[in-house]
A and B are shown apart, each in its own frame.
Chain A
Amino acid sequence: MKPSVKLKPAPWDALVILIILAAAVASGLYFWGQSRGAEGDLTAVISQDGKVIQTVDLTTMKEDHTEITVGGAYTNVIELERDRVRMESSDCPTQDCVHTGWISRPGQSIVCLPNRLVVELVGGGSPDVDVVIG
Chain B
Amino acid sequence: MTATGVAGRPSGRAGAVMNTSQEVIRRARSGDEEAFRLIFERYSRPIISFIYDMVGRRELAEDLTQETFVRAHRNLGGLRDETKLSTWLFGIAKNVTRESLRSRVREDLKVAIDDDRVRGLSDGGLPPDRELLNRELNGVIRDALQNLDDDKRAVFTLKIFQQRSYEEIAEITGSSIPKLKTDLHRARAEMRRRIEPYLRVNHEV
Same assembly: no
A binding-site residues for B, Cβ under 8 Å: none
